[in-house]
């Protein structure tokens, strides 16, 4: 039977279940990655499992998020990860080596392999023919230990590309076009596969831009075939032996097919405050622009920045525009420097940022009050930039340059300049892996460094038969993990759950954690009521781990996104979905809820009865989880099961 590319790779890694859409499957993971915001807790969770030698082919801990060392905390985290990696058989990418997704694409990606990363943009490596999936740190720790990764077997959507992109239209515009079609919600349980004759016109960095922002669609992963273009990319990286051709079988059938003519796409922009609020640049019109940031794991490749430099050559940014350029990796930065391209960027008025996540996660370059910030990153959630009143617009590098040169939102085709032909700089790459440290040959001699801010996972009790307590918070649609667990400067506490938990929902309701602790300490459970697409965005497991520390035991929403639901289960929080939207309308913040006979319900039923004690009503909520996940919920979390297994 003819197979899709997605199912070919999944079948080669299948260890549990059948490839039938919607049914639970477990797949073997070849590679893992974490970064410093997710990695410290993931490694402590791995340690809580007994820290066996890694069962994966490659596991890498990157430092790319918390780079501003304004206190001891970030530096302590970095040293913890370096020494932990050396002792426990993992690679370590030092601060300054680059963003995990860009570096992994360059130095470790391999067609046909599986990659699980504790970062939602791990699907970037789907641009090189991998099934790459974002997950919580605990799931990554389990995969390093040799456990399968469990997902619902996906439906597959073929995005058939035809034609060729016109000058000044970029891969970023392709994924923004797809976001305008599929939006950010309603895509749980799907993977996207790209095919058609237009694929061969896109380089691997362009493909990676598209698969990277598959995370914004909410799909499990996105993948391109592995072809001669992939082979050329790996050859330039000195890793041609990792290449193999991979494509869907002729005649493979898909659950949905979307056709996109690359030649008809225009420069696009995602307007505040959602990646699917997409318009053409010309539709937005010439609004004033105050800041332009070029980089992030979406658009910081060598090709991107060579194009930016060529467009900026002998030109300068408008004086009222703050122009920031951040290369995605040390390899990119070194190549730009060796070819004097870096000079062009500096001469154009650009501030050169570190090869790190920086402005994308609100850890640098917060814009001015009420600013219009034009960025090539992948998310524009309200407040994510570090400035709540700023409006962030997501665009391609080409459009970003046009905005910097004119000081207003500008379609790059209106610059009236010739589109540059970027030289084949990839042929002259300098391969230098000196900042990727291999595991120690004498691990027993390595002492893992632990600073005072590094606090391991807290004990969690099993699910009781009855939960009762207040609706501590009621929120609306599209609540992101940024809303739940603010990043930016607060991410310094990612290694310290009791401290970080003080800031859960801090930018939504500053009193949330206080109310939670009051109820928890009184022996009550806390409940959160949400709308559609609850938990979209980042994979950060702290958005489940910290609420659980505060005593949150159930989230009841209209829908819950895939990674966040998995994280809720991993930490013993019931992920419940309203069966009737009217039931959501009849709950108010502060209402007292009760769930009785829970153990039997969680063990075997899809519906859980919820009684609203305050209003004298009750309703049924859907608990759509696998048999394995039911066991996790009953135990109070994965770590409790892992602890029992060691006893």
Q: How many residues does the chain have?
A: 647
Per cent of the chain over pLDDT 90 is 90
Q: Which two tokens stand for residue 271?
A: 């307007």
Predicted local confidence at residue 430, as pLDDT = 82
Mean pLDDT of the chain: 95
pLDDT confidence band for 70 (50 / 70 / 90): confident
Which tens digit of pLDDT belongs to each residue from 570-615? Answer: 999 999 999 998 899 999 999 999 999 999 999 999 999 999 999 9
DSSP state of 83: H
Q: Which two tokens stand for residue 180?
A: 């305008």
The answer on pLDDT for 399 being more than 50 is: yes
Q: Which residues of 192-224 are buried (b: 16+ CB within 10 A; e: fewer)?
A: bbbbbebbeebbbbbbbbbbbbbbbbbbbbbbb
> Among 96, 99, 106, 108, which residue's Cα sits nearest to residue 430?
106
pLDDT confidence band for 547 (50 / 70 / 90): very high
Which tens digit of pLDDT belongs to each residue from 334-389? Answer: 999 988 899 999 999 999 999 999 899 888 999 999 999 999 999 999 999 999 99
Say how many CA atoms lie within 13 Å of 527 toward its Cβ. 23
Q: How far is it, in rounded angstroms, from Cα 478 to Cα 276?
A: 11
Give the mean pLDDT of 522-542.
94
> Among 265, 166, 157, which residue's Cα sits nearest to residue 219?
157
pLDDT confidence band for 91 (50 / 70 / 90): very high
What's the pTM value of the predicted model, to 2 decimals?
0.93
DSSP state of 166: P
Give the mean pLDDT of 317-330.
97
Which tens digit of pLDDT belongs to each residue from 143-198? Answer: 999 999 999 999 999 999 999 999 999 999 999 999 999 999 889 999 999 999 99
**CB distance 130 to 111 below 8 Å:** yes
pLDDT confidence band for 427 (50 / 70 / 90): low
**Domains in the chain, CATH or no CATH each:** 5-264 (3.30.499.10), 268-415 (3.30.499.10), 467-646 (3.20.19.10)
Q: How far is it, in rounded angstroms, from Cα 448 to Cα 342?
A: 38
Q: Which residues of 386-423 are buried (b: 16+ CB within 10 A; e: fewer)?
A: bbeebbbbbbbbbbbbbbbbbbbbbbbbebeeebbebe
Which tens digit of pLDDT belongs to each residue from 404-420? Answer: 999 999 999 999 899 99
pLDDT confidence band for 428 (50 / 70 / 90): low
Q: How far is it, in rounded angstroms, from Cα 4 to Cα 254?
A: 7
Alpha helix stretches (DSSP H) within 130-244: 137-144, 171-182, 204-212, 214-217, 228-236
The answer on pLDDT for 125 being more than 60 is: yes
The answer on pLDDT for 489 being more than 80 is: no
Predicted local confidence at residue 644, as pLDDT = 52
Predicted local confidence at residue 457, as pLDDT = 82
Q: Between 491 and 199, whose confidence is greater?
A: 199
Predicted local confidence at residue 647, as pLDDT = 44
Q: Which two tokens stand for residue 98?
A: 């680059």
Q: Which two tokens stand for residue 2?
A: 């003819």
**CB distance 531 to 558 below 8 Å:** yes
Q: Which residue has the tokens 């539709």?
A: 283
> Among 292, 262, 290, which residue's Cα sits nearest to residue 198?
262
Predicted local confidence at residue 643, as pLDDT = 57
Contacts of 507 (CB under 8 A, 6+ apart): 383, 388, 483, 486
Assign residue 407 a region: left if phi > 0, alpha if psi is -120 to 50, beta otherwise?
left
Torsion angles phi and psi, residue 233, rounded to 5: -60, -50
Q: Between 50 and 5, whose confidence is greater?
A: 5
Say how many CA atoms lie within 13 Å of 636 toward its Cβ. 15
**3-class SS letters over 47-70:** HHCCCCCCCCCEEEEECCCCCCCC
Q: How far is it, in rounded angstroms, from Cα 243 to Cα 111?
A: 6
């Amino acid at each position: 039977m003819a197979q899709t590319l997605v199912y070919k790779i999944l079948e080669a890694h299948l260890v549990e279940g059948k490839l039938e859409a919607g049914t639970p499957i477990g797949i073997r993971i070849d590679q893992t990655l974490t970064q410093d915001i997710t990695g410290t807790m993931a490694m402590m969770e791995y340690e809580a499992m007994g820290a066996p030698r890694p069962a994966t082919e490659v596991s890498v801990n990157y430092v790319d998020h918390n780079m501003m060392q304004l206190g001891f905390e970030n530096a302590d985290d970095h040293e913890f990860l370096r020494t932990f990696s050396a002792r426990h058989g993992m690679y370590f990418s030092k601060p300054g080596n680059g963003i995990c997704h860009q570096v992994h694409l360059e130095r470790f990606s391999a067609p046909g392999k599986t990659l699980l990363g504790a970062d939602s943009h791990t699907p970037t490596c789907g641009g090189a023919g991998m099934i790459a999936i974002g997950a919580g740190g605990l799931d990554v720790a389990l995969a390093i230990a040799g456990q399968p990764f469990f997902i619902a077997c996906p439906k597959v959507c073929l995005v058939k590309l035809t034609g060729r992109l016109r000058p000044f239209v970029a891969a970023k515009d392709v994924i923004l076009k797809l976001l305008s079609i599929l939006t950010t919600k309603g895509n749980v349980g799907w993977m996207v596969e790209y095919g058609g004759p237009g694929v061969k016109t896109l380089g691997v960095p362009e493909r990676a831009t598209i698969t990277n922002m598959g995370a914004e669609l909410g799909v499990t992963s996105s993948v391109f075939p592995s072809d001669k273009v992939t082979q050329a990319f790996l050859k330039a990286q000195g890793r041609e032996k990792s290449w193999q051709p991979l494509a869907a079988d002729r005649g493979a059938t898909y659950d949905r097919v979307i056709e996109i003519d690359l030649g008809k796409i225009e420069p696009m922009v995602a307007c505040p405050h959602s990646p699917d609020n997409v318009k053409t640049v010309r539709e937005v019109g010439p609004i004033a622009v105050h800041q332009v940031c070029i980089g992030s794991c979406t658009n910081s490749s060598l090709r991107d920045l060579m194009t930016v430099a060529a467009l900026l050559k002998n030109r300068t940014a408008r004086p009222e525009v703050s122009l920031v350029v951040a290369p995605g990796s040390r390899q990119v930065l070194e190549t730009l420097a060796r070819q004097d391209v870096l000079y062009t960027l500096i001469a154009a008025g650009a501030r050169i940022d570190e090869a790190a996540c920086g402005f994308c996660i609100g850890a640098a370059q917060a814009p001015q009050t009420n600013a219009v910030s034009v960025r090539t990153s992948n998310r524009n959630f309200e407040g994510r930039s570090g400035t709540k009143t700023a409006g962030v617009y997501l665009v391609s590098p080409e459009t970003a340059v046009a905005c910097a040169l004119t000081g207003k939102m500008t379609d790059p085709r209106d610059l009236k300049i010739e589109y540059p032909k970027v030289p084949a700089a990839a042929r002259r790459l300098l391969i230098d892996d000196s900042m990727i440290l291999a595991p120690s040959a004498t691990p027993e001699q390595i002492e893992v460094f632990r600073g005072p801010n590094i606090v391991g996972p807290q004990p969690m009790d099993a699910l009781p038969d009855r939960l009762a307590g207040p609706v501590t918070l009621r929120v609306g649609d599209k609540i992101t993990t940024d809303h739940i667990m603010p990043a930016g400067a607060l991410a310094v506490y990612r290694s310290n759950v009791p401290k970080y938990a003080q800031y859960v929902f801090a930018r939504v309701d500053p009193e949330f954690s206080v109310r939670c602790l009051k109820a928890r300490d009184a022996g009550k459970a806390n409940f959160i009521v949400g709308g559609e697409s609850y938990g979209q965005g980042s994979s950060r497991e702290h958005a489940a781990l910290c609420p659980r520390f505060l005593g949150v035991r159930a989230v009841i929403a209209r829908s819950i996104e895939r990674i966040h639901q998995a994280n809720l289960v991993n930490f013993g929080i019931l992920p419940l979905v309203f069966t009737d939207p009217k039931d959501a309308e009849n709950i108010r913040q502060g209402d007292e809820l009760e769930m009785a006979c829970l153990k039997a319900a969680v063990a075997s039923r899809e519906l859980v009865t919820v009684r609203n004690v305050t209003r004298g009503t009750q309703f049924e909520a859907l608990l759509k989880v696998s048999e394995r996940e039911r066991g996790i919920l009953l135990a109070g979390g994965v770590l409790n099961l892992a602890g029992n297994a060691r006893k």
